[in-house]
With several copies, the nearest count.
Chain A
Amino acid sequence: MSVISYRQALHDALRGEMLRDENVFLIGEEIGLFEGSYKITAGMLAEFGPKRVRDTPIAEEGFTGAAIGAAMLGLRPVVEIMTINFSLLALDQIVNHAAKIYGMFGGQARVPMVIRTPGGGGQQLGATHSQNIELYYAFVPGMKVVAPSSPADAKSLMLAAIRDDDPVLVLENLALYNTTGEVPDHDEPAEIGKAAITRDGADITVVAYSRMAAVALQAAGRLAGEGIDVEVVDLRSLRPLDRETIIASVRKTNCAVVLEDDWLTYGIGAEIAATISDGAFDWLDAPVRRVAMAEVPLPYAKPLETAALPSVDDAITAIRATLDAVARRG
């Protein structure tokens, strides 16, 4: 165990896999000479050379598609898409090709590839550079989507993604890169498709992923002071979705709040709330409440951006309100 940053954990996982398997290579914009827009691949070009750390032209569709084709021949490309916003330009290659090839050809070709890309707002990047559109991938059969919220998960989920034979999108987050935490020194891939209880609690279940899973722990910590015992479910895998773990928790606490960084209507949280309301129907003592981003193109101006993004305070408000609703129905 050592305490490292989320960024370092991603870097270590990539480097370890590059050393372990020569079929693994990195491809994307500015990952080599520039050392990565967010420096996840710093030092990689110097260590592995331009064949395995391939800078590309600005052509998301072209180089993502090229990675898919290379994967069809047995390589294991790890694509960096600078931010998830730009992945829309490669969506046809990902959704209509990477996610379809195994099934559409009757199981004859595999696409063992990883797409790494950060989501997240909060840095005044404006409407087109601050989106959370992991939904576009989590919705698609044939895709796998993981969303680490801690350095430990960043490493173990990245390892699992690279060793998986299907296209896996690893959702990173701009606001998490500098966060730190304990990470095992040895390589231990996580199991894709499993959520985790990151905090045991008796009073209420908070379900979240990526940055909001960290926010959930902060909220739980603050509420513990007031004797409110929050259980936190970190989804970790958006597709497949681990409904069992969510339901088991809510059947224990009898109420739930969902935290998400994307827009509320049709967002990831809608499925979580629908799943809970169905699977824990006879256990639920209050409606499942969702905390999400305001449904607007995110403005640049700081006060507007701050108001639009979900915060720890918003989470606490929703948790309290839900417990009140339980009490009212008591």
Chain B
Amino acid sequence: MPPTTRTARSSPPAGRQAAGRQAAGAATNDQLLAFYRQMVLVRRFEERAARAYTEAKVGGYCHLNLGEEATVAGLMAAVRAEDYVFTNYREHGYAIARGIGPRRVMAELYGRVDGVSRGWGGSMHMFDIASRFMGGYGIVGGQVPLATGAALAIDYRGGAEAVVCLMGDGTTNIGAFHESLNIAALWGLPIVYVVINNGLGMGTSVERSSAEPELHKRAASYRMASARVDGNDPAAVYEAAQVALASAREGRPYLLETVSGRLKGHSVVDPARYRSREEAEALKAADPVAAYAVRLHEQGLLTDELIARIDTEATTEVAAAAEFADASPHPDVSTLFDYTYATPVPNDSRRLPGDALFPPPPRPNVAELVQMPA
């Protein structure tokens, strides 16, 4: 019998072993402060995005990372520049933390040409090849097989990169999750699946949607390593993510569950009436940004002045981002047919709704026929 893909697993590529060997480290004081700056920037950005939505500058669905800031900061700090990140539609913060400027993220929300996806994607579909931010996806679970395939490509080439695939708690109940984790574990792919457990999928609690609500335990169905971490603690997330990534780089995929809260509704238009006042209050009380500020203050890393300065800087940056976005031009209608195919082929349709399939005159001769738009 020929060697099976299974056996291939035991020996990860040289590059990857080396990469894997460096151990996971705790965050330095500089990093702890950097997490805070990152968290505040995301917070202010999302608040500004919500305002832009009410101003009708932003359309479609718009899902915010409010309450998820610590996870955003901790995770993105652990990911290397050469790694690939796939997310769901709740991705503004991750895009920013990945190094895409708030301006281009905001411009995408505004649907402008300077947007990170040139205005074609919107809030749910941020993509930037330069920072290996491989897309926000609006179909629940849709990104999971894709991210698994990216890890397959890395493995195929024997590269040292890893893939981080973000998803929500509700996403662990869809078939693509199961098929993908099984494939990744079976083939020993360099990928970390991160379940952002914010307790809800729209209005449905984890308990009402997942028969095993301790989601990280689902890794056992694939003999996959896993852990659960406090998503409100950026340092804890950072350390857990490093462990997970080290494992992935050695060909042992990993399932990391982060637990945090969703401060507002599912999307900006959701009043979240299904949530009791108590729940809402409790969430506010546990606001990760405020709590983290207090902690760093106690540790003497933050002063009142510094808190104020960081806040002003963030507010200024997102204001500038909004200005930039508003100043950026709308895509021109003449570009509507530019991105249907990467390889041009004859007879591709470029008709607008009112256009005729075969324009008059009624009796073109075959010579003219050749010029007609197909």
Instruction: Report A-B touching, CB under 8 Å.
Output: yes
Residue of A34, A110, A192, A310 touching B203 (CB-CB under 8 A): A34
Q: Is the CB of A66 within 8 A of B117?
A: no
Residue of B5, B111, B118, B140 touching A54 (CB-CB under 8 A): B5
Please tell me the number of chain B residues within 8 Å of chain A, measured between CB atoms. 97
Q: Is the CB of B330 within 8 A of A72?
A: no
Q: Residue B122 at the A interface, CB < 8 A?
A: yes
Which of B122, B332, B362 gathers the greatest number of chain A CB atoms within 10 Å? B122
Q: Is the CB of A57 within 8 A of B203?
A: no
Interface string of A271-312 (1 = CB under 8 A from B): 000010011011000010111111111011111100111110
Q: Residue A200 at the B interface, CB < 8 A?
A: no
- Looking at A11-19, A118-126, A175-183, A226-234, the stretch in contact with chain B turns out to be A118-126
Query: How many whole Å from A194's CB to the nearest CB in chain B?
Result: 6
Interface string of B360-373 (1 = CB under 8 A from A): 10110010011010
Query: How many whole Å from B47's CB to the nearest CB in chain A?
Result: 21
A42 vs B60: C-alpha distance when bound (angstroms)? 22
Query: How many whole Å from A36's CB to the nearest CB in chain B?
Result: 10
Q: Residue A201 at the B interface, CB < 8 A?
A: no
- Chain B positions within 8 Å of A313 at CB level: 354
Q: Is the CB of B342 within 8 A of A96?
A: no
Q: Residue A207 at the B interface, CB < 8 A?
A: no
Query: How many whole Å from A50's CB to the nearest CB in chain B?
Result: 5
Q: Residue B214 at the A interface, CB < 8 A?
A: no
Query: How many whole Å from B291's CB to the nearest CB in chain A?
Result: 28
B residues 138-170 touching A (CB-CB < 8 Å): 138-142, 144-154, 156, 170
Q: Is the CB of B138 within 8 A of A301?
A: no
Q: Is the CB of B152 within 8 A of A66?
A: yes
Residue of A74, A97, A106, A129 touching B339 (CB-CB under 8 A): A106
Q: Is the CB of B183 within 8 A of A303?
A: no
Q: Is the CB of B330 within 8 A of A303?
A: yes
Q: Closest B residue to A243 by CB, please name it.
A: B374
- Chain B positions within 8 Å of A25 at CB level: 156
A138 vs B127: C-alpha distance when bound (angstroms)? 27
A299 vs B120: C-alpha distance when bound (angstroms)? 5
- Chain B positions within 8 Å of A268 at CB level: none
Interface size class of A (residues with CB under 8 A): 35 or more
Q: Residue A75 at the B interface, CB < 8 A?
A: yes
A63-B120 in contact given A72-B149, A292-B353 (Cβ < 8 Å): no
- Chain B positions within 8 Å of A185 at CB level: none
Residue of A35, A104, A291, A325 touching B120 (CB-CB under 8 A): A104
A259 vs B230: C-alpha distance when bound (angstroms)? 54
Q: Residue A67 at the B interface, CB < 8 A?
A: yes
- Chain A positions within 8 Å of B115 at CB level: 106
**Interface majority SS on B: helix, strand, loop or mixed?**
loop
- Looking at B73-81, B255-263, B292-300, B343-351, the stretch in contact with chain A turns out to be B343-351
- Chain B positions within 8 Å of A101 at CB level: 135
Which of A73, A166, A292, A304 gathers the greatest number of chain B CB atoms within 10 Å? A73
Query: How many whole Å from A99's CB to the nearest CB in chain B?
Result: 9
Q: Residue A321 at the B interface, CB < 8 A?
A: yes
A64 vs B176: C-alpha distance when bound (angstroms)? 11
A residues 26-46 touching B (CB-CB < 8 Å): 29-30, 32-35, 37, 45-46
Q: Is the CB of A102 within 8 A of B147?
A: no
Query: How many whole Å from A91's CB to the nearest CB in chain B?
Result: 11
A residues 307-330 touching B (CB-CB < 8 Å): 307-311, 313-314, 317-318, 321, 324-325, 328-329
Q: Is the CB of B135 within 8 A of A105?
A: yes
Q: Is the CB of B3 within 8 A of A92?
A: no
Q: Is the CB of B122 within 8 A of A124?
A: yes
Q: Residue B121 at the A interface, CB < 8 A?
A: yes
Q: Residue A151 at the B interface, CB < 8 A?
A: no
Residue of A35, A57, A109, A325 touching B360 (CB-CB under 8 A): A325
A294-B180 in contact given A61-B145, A124-B122, A126-B138 (Cβ < 8 Å): no
Q: Is the CB of B60 within 8 A of A300?
A: yes
Q: Residue B290 at the A interface, CB < 8 A?
A: no
Q: Is the CB of A62 within 8 A of B179?
A: yes
Q: Is the CB of B142 within 8 A of A301?
A: no
Q: Is the CB of B346 within 8 A of A34?
A: no
- Chain B positions within 8 Å of A282 at CB level: 362-363
Residue of B134, B135, B349, B370 touching A244 (CB-CB under 8 A): B370
Which of A71, A126, A294 gathers the greatest number of chain B CB atoms within 10 Å? A126
Q: Is the CB of B370 within 8 A of A62?
A: no
Query: How many whole Å from A79's CB to the nearest CB in chain B?
Result: 11
- Chain B positions within 8 Å of A73 at CB level: 84, 149-150, 153-154
Q: Is the CB of B374 within 8 A of A244?
A: yes
Q: Is the CB of B356 within 8 A of A289?
A: yes
Residue of A66, A74, A165, A325 touching B145 (CB-CB under 8 A): A66
- Chain B positions within 8 Å of A292 at CB level: 353
A33-B2 in contact given A68-B145, A70-B152, A296-B340 (Cβ < 8 Å): yes
Q: Closest A residue to B366 by CB, please name it.
A: A248
Residue of A58, A103, A240 touching B140 (CB-CB under 8 A): A58
Query: How many whole Å from A218's CB to the nearest CB in chain B?
Result: 15
Q: Is the CB of A307 within 8 A of B347?
A: no
21 A-B residue contacts at CB 8 Å? Answer: A25-B156, A33-B4, A55-B204, A58-B170, A58-B171, A59-B173, A67-B149, A69-B151, A70-B156, A75-B153, A86-B140, A104-B120, A106-B115, A126-B60, A126-B138, A191-B345, A244-B372, A291-B354, A294-B353, A300-B117, A302-B59
Q: A96-B142, A129-B124 are in contact. List 4 more A-B contacts (CB 8 A).
A: A69-B150, A166-B343, A291-B354, A296-B340
